Amino acid sequence: MGKKAILKVYGDIGESVPDMFFMEGPDTVSAKQVSEFLDQNQDADEIIVKINSRGGDVQEGWAIHDLLINSGKKISTIGEGKVYSIATIIFLAGEERSMMQNADGLIHNPFIPEYTLADKYESTDLLKIAESLAQEEEKILDFYALRTGTDKAKLATYMKDETKLSANDMLTLGFATKILEPVKAYAFYKLKNLTIMKETEEKAFFERLGTLLDSKIAKAFSRLPEGKNIELTDTSGNTLTVDKPEGDPAVGDKASPDGTFVMDNGDTIIVTNGMIESITPQEAEPGDGELEKAQAEIQRLKDELAAATAKVAEVETEKVAFAKKEKEASDLITELRNLKNSWKPEGRASGEGGQNKVDGIDLDRVKEIIKNSKS
């Protein structure tokens, strides 16, 4: 069994400030003191950090946290009374983090105490202070979310409201990993009417009873704002419980029971392992206005198609007429060429039958063809 060393963080966190007799303040825990403690206990395998502190200097708290996790030793933390403000950062350095049953936690946004603002500040100084505070707030919030696994938005609300947390709240939110409680007397009490139970049945009964009482006690002592869970009924009459007081269900919300729920608005909610895995909206059907627009668009396209069809028919008609004229022109050219090749002087006109012919060519016919081609 490895050696354990106990570090007590009892008092405010900050650099040791000498009192009026130049003695170190006895109730202040500094990074320097923690570093010296680690040096003195290099042979220890585990450091148990007992905390009863209302917080203090932010940077000093971070320094103590970093010294602990970089010590190369197993770190366990125990909340004994107050685990407030920056002391929560030191508490989260533990792999195993226990809260005494009546201990409290407290989280809030970082601030500068009013007595430190006694000096004269210009507007740029105040802007720098505000920016620094915002950065520190985000740093702490990110660290809380990472170490506890609790939703960042929920933690941000609790920090803004300077929320005091019971031991059970610390466990629920993931700050603590367990609660240290005294042995429960009711676990050994036997009721007369249970004598007919088998030993295993009796043990199971008292375990269930203990769990029920733990739940009731935890609810009674919770410091978190109380809010009812959302209960939704799907189209089949099944009840879906979402673990938040208000708002719409969202992916990642804790919910029960597991299954698929089709809601009245058409959304399909799938719950797996106590968490909403997906929300699939129903495909929207076109409303009356959209339907009218669609019908008008269809009619417009039909009109365009009819106009295009008529234009095609007109073009085909013109194409046929053009082909006919082209044929007539070609025939005329052929006939004229033949006429040119067979033309002879007028003296050879036969005047036969009183017709206007030259060597058998009907000149009146030629004129008629030329006339028709022009029309």
Report the candidate in 202, 190, 152, 180 with the shortest Cα–Cα distance to residue 76.
Answer: 180
Give the list of residues 6+ apart from residue 121 with CB closer than 8 angstroms, or none.
129
Give dist(CA 314, CA 320) in Å, integer: 10
Q: Residue 77 burial by CB count (10 A; 0-12/13-18/19+): exposed, middle or buried? A: buried
Whose structure tokens read 């050879």? 348
The three-state secondary structure class of 180 is strand
Report the candidate in 223, 216, 226 with the shortest Cα–Cα distance to residue 103.
Answer: 223
Q: Residue 78 burial by CB count (10 A; 0-12/13-18/19+): exposed, middle or buried? A: buried
Instruction: Give me the tens of pLDDT residue by residue for the chain, a chain 375 residues long.
Output: 689 999 999 999 998 765 444 444 557 899 999 999 999 999 999 999 999 999 999 999 999 999 999 999 999 999 999 999 999 999 999 999 999 999 999 999 887 766 555 566 677 767 877 777 888 889 999 999 999 999 999 999 999 989 999 999 999 999 999 999 765 544 444 444 444 445 555 555 555 555 555 555 555 556 666 556 788 889 888 888 888 777 788 888 888 888 999 988 888 999 998 889 999 887 655 555 677 888 888 998 988 888 888 888 888 888 888 888 888 878 888 877 776 666 555 544 444 445 566 555 666 777 777 666 555
Per-residue H/E/C for 129-159? HHHHHHHHHHHHHHHHHHHHCCCHHHHHHHH
Name the helix (H) or strand (E) containing 106. strand 104-107
State both tokens at 22.
Answer: 């130049």
pTM: 0.51
pLDDT digits (tens, 9 = 90+) for 238-283: 888 888 777 788 888 888 888 999 988 888 999 998 889 999 887 6
Give dist(CA 141, CA 108) in Å, integer: 10
| CATH architecture of the domain formed by 4-181 | Alpha-Beta Complex (3.90)
pLDDT digits (tens, 9 = 90+) for 149-186: 999 999 999 999 899 999 999 999 999 999 997 655 44
